[in-house]
Amino acid sequence: MTLSDGRAQPAMLRKSNDEMAELAQEGVDILEQQLTIHPPDGVTASDVEGVFQRQRPVLVATLAGMLGAVAARQAARASSSVETITSSEHMLAELERLIDDGGKHRLVVLSGPEFQRFSITPDVDGIYVAPEGGLGKEKKLDKTDARALLDFLPNVYPAAAGGVLVAVLDSFAGLEEPELSEMPAVRALYDSILPHGGPPEATFELAVRLHRAVMKVRPDGWRGIRAREQVIKRALYEIFRDEEATERLFKVVKNQTAY
């Protein structure tokens, strides 16, 4: 935990406790008012006032504790309801290795309609995480294991909830990563490939390879010109070695503005 985090956490705790005490005070005031107006049988309004004068600190503290316990249970329930990020054992082991190595790396998570990319920086007492594309501020996990990181991400970056880890740096060694602006095209290729088998990480790697191949060979103004379209089809076929798959993927490529 950083020094700034260490100062912020007690401050937040004090604020929470102060709010509970204030609510408890209001609750005790309301209870006293109601019992004074409508005292129980055999009890006078003066008796009620006397009890509250003597027992007010105890009543406020007890009620504040109960309110705090309820709030804590609700927070725990909300946290546990967040869908974590799933991963194959292979990807989890790769992530664990990179964390142990201590170098900065990157995760790619498929969540909903988009790929989410995160910059990961291990530290001696935790892991710093930041989403790419200006989607949030850097956060720190006070643990250094891969499974804890995948559980942590959806809690601080809700867009990753329920996602699938499809890549970490070096998962597809030597392959240039797409720019963020190119990721929708990669997603379209991924969606076209996934129903035909293979785990998510292998499908993502293949989609990126196809994407880079098209980006490398695409001629200017290629759409609608047979000879230029054949250049792209050949690049796809060199990877897939399947004419039917090549035609299917070519239709996907043709519909992507990135190409």
Residue predicted with more confidence, 134 or 100: 100
pLDDT averaged over every residue in the chain:
84
Interacting residues of 96 by C-beta distance below 8 A, sequence separation 6+: 145, 146
Q: State the pLDDT at residue 6.
A: 45
Q: State the pLDDT at residue 122.
A: 92
What's the whole-model pTM score?
0.60
* Tokens of residue 122, six digits: 């291990």
For the residues 86-94, what does the mean pLDDT come to?
90
Q: How does residue 12 score in pLDDT terms, banded at 50, 70 and 90?
A: very low
> For residue 79, is pLDDT > 60?
no
Q: State the pLDDT at residue 175.
A: 52
Give tens-digit pLDDT for 60-74: 888 888 888 877 766
Contact call for residues 76 and 141 (beta carbons, < 8 A): no
Residues in the chain: 259
For the residues 225-253, what does the mean pLDDT come to?
94
| Residue pointed to by tokens 């759409």 | 223
Q: How does residue 197 score in pLDDT terms, banded at 50, 70 and 90?
A: confident
Q: State the pLDDT at residue 13.
A: 47
Q: State the pLDDT at residue 72.
A: 74
Interacting residues of 206 by C-beta distance below 8 A, sequence separation 6+: 193, 198, 239
Q: State the pLDDT at residue 178.
A: 73
Q: State the pLDDT at residue 7.
A: 45
